Amino acid sequence: MTYTPKSDFVAVMMERGFLADCTDYQGLDEALLQGVRPAYIGFDATAKSLHVGSLIQIMMLRWFQKTGHQPITLMGGGTTKVGDPSFRADERPLLTEAQIDDNIAGIKKVFSAYIDYDTDAPNKALMLNNAEWLDGLNYLEFLRDIGRHFSVNRMLSFESVKSRLDREQSLSFLEFNYMILQAYDFMELNRRYGCILQMGGSDQWGNIVNGIDLTRRVIDHEVYGLTSPLLTTSDGKKMGKTADGAIWLNADMRSPYEFWQFWRNTTDADVGRFLKLYTELPVAECERLGALAGSEINAAKVILANEVTTLCHGAEAAAAAEATAREVFEKGGVGDDLPTLTLSPADLGDGISIVQLIVKSGLAKSGKDAKRLIAEHGAKIDDQPLTDAGLMIDAGALASPIKLSAGKKRHALVRLDG
């Protein structure tokens, strides 16, 4: 891509590695030079928190506001009832309205750390819910006025749908309507708020193009689409997924320490790229840190962890996480910020097995996993090898907190309440 951007936003997207594709680089660039313009990204409410896989989109909205424009975070209160089939192998489970509302309440918490909804400036961010216009649609009118603009042949050609059909996996009529609803969202946001740009991951390309086409056909307005790459780590793993589950952004679902530790454990080859995407350090500094080798790259990983955690959870949480990591890893201590399992005397009873404790503390998914961890010499108790899967822990053993470890990088405290 040799295009030289004119607007600050497109320049940042290209320079920092956010850009996978754009429907019209020059048209978008020139539109962004004409004053404050709105852009949106949609987030379906399929869980109570977003995870690290969504962080690239949140950072795009943050940069959009930092370069003088108006970000719109669109909660999918309506579309979540249908489910996005993009690159899924199966149909999403249907959620109740109460579950969706509960999930939206959880998801909203993280956005205010990145985006300013309270400023008096013209580029004050908006948080909207597409249930506002989707829930009241008259189905027959929608089919007549909107459905006639969509070619089934064209929709079947989109890779997100085609890959599912090629594997002979079911694609319900309910899901097939998702892309029409998302296209309608874009048109409605343009009509109501003058939104000129939809952004998303590259798996959303087909949905975004549909929205652009519908907006041109129905209200004859020019709008644009921009996608980011679907990130994997250098070893091919999906971004935000680990052996013990998703790296959630909400502190009540993944502690700030565990969040910090995820970034601290970044593979050497990913450090420079992640610094550009997930921090606001100057690009030259990101490249300098990413080029470090040997033990020096570990210092760059600490910077990455601190910068990303500060944005998400605040500077105090980042400092506490770093202090705990130094205590645990460099000094062999316990650390105040480790994930902690607190047991009541009733929980403990006459004693609890070490296997149960490992599972309850989140260091293993099941008793079978915990026993395997012990058998393979991957478990420790107070930094000493744990070899007896039948060990029982009673109140006396918990007179002071004990530290459990799974491998070199995952730890938890177990303490007795009172």
Q: Which residues are annotated as a binding site?
A: 40, 178, 182, 241
Distance of alpha carbon 325 from alpha carbon 319, whole angstroms? 10
Structure tokens at 359: 């599972």
Residue identified by tokens 């996978």 is 20
State which H helix or E strand residue 320 sits in.
helix 315-325
C-alpha 202/C-alpha 224 separation (Å) is: 14
- Closest among 195, 234, 194 to 61, alpha carbons compared: 195
Annotated binding site for L-tyrosine: 40, 178, 182
267 backbone dihedrals φ, ψ, rounded to 5°: -60, 140
Q: Which residues are annotated as a binding site for ATP?
A: 241
Q: Which of 72, 25, 81 is nearest to 186 (CA)?
A: 72
Q: Are 129 and 104 in contact (CB under 8 A)?
A: yes
CA pair distance 195, 186, nearest whole angstrom: 8
Q: How far is CA 135 from CA 33, 132, 145, 292, in A?
A: 35, 6, 16, 53
Beta strands 352-353 and 392-393 are antiparallel
